[in-house]
Amino acid sequence: MPLVSGADVEAAAALLDGVVRRTPLEHSRALGERVGGPVWLKCENLQRTGSFKIRGAYTRIARLTPEERARGVVAASAGNHAQGVALAARELGAAATVFMPESAPLPKVAATRGYGADARLGGATLTEALLSAIEFAAATGKVLIHPFDHPDVIAGQGTVGLELLEQCPDVATVVVCTGGGGLVSGIAAAVKARRPDVRVVAVQAATAAAFPASLAAGRPVPLATMATMADGIAVAAPGDLTLAHVAGLVDEVRTVTEGDLSRALLFCLERAKLVVEPAGVAAVAALLADPGAFRAPVVAVVSGGNIDPVLMMKVVQHGMAAAGRYLSLRVQVPDRPGSLAALLRELAGLSANVLSVEHERTTARLDLGEVEVGVHLETRGPDHERDVLGALAAAGYAPRV
């Protein structure tokens, strides 16, 4: 099927001039040291509505006829596309109805309604919400604004690629967070039209990666299950159009684990001073997980920053554990006064911060007169964890993790 061209993306850029923000390209010294060359972050988390989605949504709605806009638009989204459609519809004078899964983060639901859309919650997954949106569009005559599988949406998202080429003319590799594939399809169309030598890499969450099987089959193959913290890229299957773009223009599809995502989110907070949602940090996760796989200069697209504060706390904790910043261990000590104090003094001398302590006296592992102590520690990383475990063993304890 016909692919979106570089000229299509440039036309979308002209349409979006003055509507979307030209987001900054921030250098990351910490990532550059790992990769062995310059690494830049394209900060779409700082875009209007907090993600790149406004680009495609506005392009699509702006190209509707006046009669179509008068009927209104409908969309389905876990949050970012919802906000993009809501804002674009408001600015173009169209009423918007958005179907969101019941698990959609509350800040995204509130923001969607704040932009003036009628946000309706229902269904356990984005796939179910999309089916509801399709049925609603058929019943009401409203125009469905698909989150990724439409040429106008792909062309709008592709304007990210035009910007990063202008901001980093010598880029060698572009790494893109990928769910349904609208963003990577558009960026690949824009980048390959001007610089066919640039390598474009799509990154999916390993537990919600629909592209590998679909590419192998040559058609969209829905995933039977998905389970990832990165709700923004949890898409059961690519569209026919995005699959064609990825097959024809994208050089590689990689996957990252949940641990990779949480470590990357923590990295962006600590080292880049960026608030990023799990879906938006997938490209950074790929760089951290396998830095030698990317030829520099690299541009990693940080696609969104709309994260629920409650989820952020959980992900940060998960990221700290994955980065070796938390250590849980159990040791057996004599059940007599002073044993716990002695263990805690040992840990204090190792500069390990004790977060919690628990006692267990009733397991079959214990001899008479013993108690098992579980300790949850805050550490400074994997090397410190090894030092703590080694020092406890040398002091006569037998720590188990």
Could you list the active site residues?
53, 303
Smallest CA-to-CA distance from 6 within 145, 185, 239 is with 185
Is 370:332 a contact under the CB 8 Å cutoff? yes
Is 207:236 a contact under the CB 8 Å cutoff? no
d(CA 136, CA 82): 16
d(CA 371, CA 367): 8
d(CA 72, CA 97): 8
Residue with tokens 């026919």: 240
Is 263:4 a contact under the CB 8 Å cutoff? no
φ and ψ at 376, to 5 degrees?
A: -110, 120
